[in-house]
Structure 1
Amino acid sequence: MGSYSSEDVVFLLRNVGHMSLELDNVKREQLIQSGVHYSEMLPIEYQPSDAYMSLFNQTLDRYAERIAVAVGVVAEQIVALRGLDNLVLTSLARAGTPIGILIKRYLKMRYNKSVPHYSISILRGRGIDEVAVRYIFAKHPSAQVQFVDGWTGKGAIASELIQACDAFNAKHSQQLSAILAVLADPGHCAAIYGTRADFLIPSACLNSTVSGLVSRTMLNLQFMDKDDFHGAKYYQELEGVDVSNFYIDHITSYFEQVEQQVKEQLLQCTDHTVTWFGKEKVQIIQEEFAIKNINLVKPGVGETTRVLLRRVPWKILINPQHIDELEHILLLAQERNVPIEEYPNMSYACCGLIKET
């Protein structure tokens, strides 16, 4: 599955391309807020506008070096913690997948070591794909599994990972560590991070077209076997606009020139304490805007982008200090007629608020 080379990643996902599970954002939002689990359906994948793709390319050029540094910082922390001999990178599909590939590429460049890399599903409220985890341990009995994601928001997936690892470890002799590695950790939910600043990771700007043409993952037992991998679609019809490998190659080209910056940044990443700081800030926003369900508050650049791309936004909060870094947020909000409100009293650059149905 996917448009990436199998040298870069192996997706442990069942291809559900024959199923019609996509719903428009409004219908999907109504079902989610009425109690249907978000993983039982898929959002429609839209082809981005020319203006938005132009902005993506500008953003990539602007942030490529910063991303390369963050990748190196994360990779070096992983090596220090787990070593290389039994390391198995395991990305959380789908936002984690390009990040896992970049870490794998960095390790090959820096240590001339090609480590295994898989991409598996984790779903809020349903845990990790244990079938996929068992597959990894069957292939690599001594695996030091390192979970990788793109960024943190308020920590829902980081919290889900802790619960999932505890549940798995209680049943199996092979053990998982819930220490999560991400590029950006503004929520202070990950012990391994490239930065705790809330900055744009360009792969957050797009959906499948920067993630190997793979949909978000899903689990619908009406159509699927509980003993199979979680599912996803491959969007072959979008191959003409796929920038997944272009994105990887562009950032990889910076690795050799950022060696000194990686060393300097590592000296600043000494605090590995997970405080869930971001969740406290989200609770303040939830109370101030009288939002009943905290899951309707999506803090950070990455999560706000997702709200605009595949949910039904109510409004977008912008921290005016970061306005110059949020061009794509402003463009998406304009295209979708979503109101913008300045809100300086938050640690995030922006925050997406989902409309209550």
Structure 2
Amino acid sequence: MNEQGVANVKHIKEPLPMGSYRKEDCIFLLKNINGLLEEQNNLEREYAMQNGTHYSEMLPIEYMPTKEYMTLYKNTLEETAEEIAFYTGVVAELIYRKKGKDVVIVSLARAGTPIGVLIKRYLAYKYQVNVPHYSVSIIRDKGIDENALLYILKEHPAEDIQFVDGWTGKGVISHTLEKACKHFKNKYEVDLDDTLAVLCDPGECTSLYGTRADFLVPSACLNATVSGLMSRTFLRNDLIGPYDFHGSKFYKEWEEIDVSNDFVDTIATHFSQLNIHEEDLVNKEMGAFNAAQSVENIRQCFDISSINRVKPGVGETTRVLLRRVPWKILVKDKEDKRIKHILLLARDRGVPVEVYQDMCYSCCGLIKDMCDV
């Protein structure tokens, strides 16, 4: 780290306790912005975003799931916990082979956070190593939280950072991370590995993944209540200073409905039953459809002006239904059990669902053009 990095570290404060995970599972490097701003509804935010306001300068009102939706979430977790444990084991083994016991897991808040906890738990179970795990903010068009990275490098100067996320969609976060790591090297003379490890890689963006199937990670079904009670991350100059971490709200008042620890506990109980073989750790061939071409085909087919309004994959489609203004949902197969919650959310919000098979994803969310409203 050069002199500028060392000087900046001196101004960065120690992180305050945040989130509902156990401290040994995850440390959030985020600034608590409770009481500093009000959340906005999806319609207000969509108008603002399509008129030039960056999404990171606002917070959405968190979706409060219905009883029917929570039942579906719990059933899905029960049905898929063993499979998720297997995919966690695969990506954790790949990380350990590449970086060994001196790795620092750095998950990207917030979809990456529960996956980071699971990878840490798996490595503790399998190799009896207690690797550090931090959760940091990365924001499209703005990059990664450099203060968080400087703090981690100060605390673990001899160890190797591994970035972790939940899944890939179009690959926007992968590209954002690559660009951010290059900028960080130019600015601080620190070379970071920009390979993103994910549970599911339907976007075909990385070599470190558990599966390339567009698999439903049940944590995608919910927001704060499965991600340590943290909001999505926030960055605006009037509230986030030059030496602050990026911001996030901590919804401590929702402790009674929080399932964050239950989610990771349920999956981790299956680690002892896993049988991961050498062939499971070999990169699989790409699918019949190219992911990037799938997205472009959708954009053209539905005459969508901006690629930012096309959100492919089960994780991103869920986000569209929870915190954007959807126009329609495309599904490859309405009988696919991975998208039960998608169909339920679409029904509850009155969003049309259309069968569209010419894609490598199980579903895709299309965001409404607010000029048409």
Q: Structure 1 length normalisation: TM-score?
A: 0.96
Matches within 5 A, 1:190-339: 190-258=206-274, 260=275, 262-263=276-277, 266-267=280-281, 269-271=282-284, 277-320=290-333, 323-339=336-352
Indicate which of 340, 346, 350 corresponds to 2:359: 346
User: 2:121, 2:344 → 1: CA distance?
Assistant: 32
Decide whether the 8 Å contact of 1:321 with 1:344 is kept in 2.
Answer: no
What is the SS of the residue equivalent to 1:3? coil
Decide whether the 8 Å contact of 1:313 with 1:355 is kept in 2.
Answer: yes
The one-character-per-residue Cα deviations of 1:51-88 (angstroms, maximum 9, x if unpaired) are 0000000000111011000000000000111111x210
Number of the residue aligned with 1:163: 179
Runs of at least 5 residues in structure 2 that lack an aligned partner in the other structure = 1-17
Decide whether the 8 Å contact of 2:137 with 2:246 is kept in 1.
Answer: yes
Runs of at least 5 residues in structure 1 that lack an aligned partner in the other structure = none
Number of the residue aligned with 2:202: 186
Indicate which of 36, 39, 54 corresponds to 1:37: 54
Divergent runs of 4+, >3 A: none
Displacement, 1:46?
A: 2.6
Decide whether the 8 Å contact of 2:346 with 2:352 is kept in 1.
Answer: yes
Displacement, 1:102?
A: 0.1
| 1:60 is the counterpart of 2:77 | yes
User: 2:259, 2:354 → 1: CA distance?
Assistant: 32
Displacement, 1:238?
A: 1.4
Tell me the matched-pair count. Answer: 352
Number of the residue aligned with 2:4: none
Decide whether the 8 Å contact of 2:290 with 2:360 is kept in 1.
Answer: no
Decide whether the 8 Å contact of 1:191 with 1:272 is kept in 2.
Answer: no
Letter of the structure 2 residue corresponding to residue 266 of structure 1: D
Indicate which of 113, 122, 125 corresponds to 2:138: 122
What is the SS of the residue equivalent to 1:43? coil
Over 3 Å counting, the alpha-carbon distance change for 1:223 and 1:180 in structure 2 is same
Displacement, 1:263?
A: 1.9
What is the SS of the residue equivalent to 2:346? helix
The one-character-per-residue Cα deviations of 1:326-350 (angstroms, maximum 9, x if unpaired) are 1100000001000000001111000
User: 2:46, 2:231 → 1: CA distance?
Assistant: 17
User: 1:41, 1:283 → 2: CA distance?
Assistant: 28
Q: Which moved more, 1:172-181 or 1:102-111?
A: 172-181
User: 1:70, 1:322 → 2: CA distance?
Assistant: 23
User: 1:108, 1:37 → 2: CA distance?
Assistant: 39
User: 2:254, 2:67 → 1: CA distance?
Assistant: 14
Over 3 Å counting, the alpha-carbon distance change for 1:122 and 1:322 in structure 2 is farther
Displacement, 1:281?
A: 1.1
Displacement, 1:113?
A: 0.4
Decide whether the 8 Å contact of 1:169 with 1:176 is kept in 2.
Answer: yes
User: 1:157, 1:300 → 2: CA distance?
Assistant: 14
The one-character-per-residue Cα deviations of 1:193-221 (angstroms, maximum 9, x if unpaired) are 00000010000000000000000001011
Over 3 Å counting, the alpha-carbon distance change for 1:322 and 1:135 in structure 2 is farther
Number of the residue aligned with 2:86: 69
Identity, % of aligned positions: 54
User: 1:52, 1:151 → 2: CA distance?
Assistant: 22
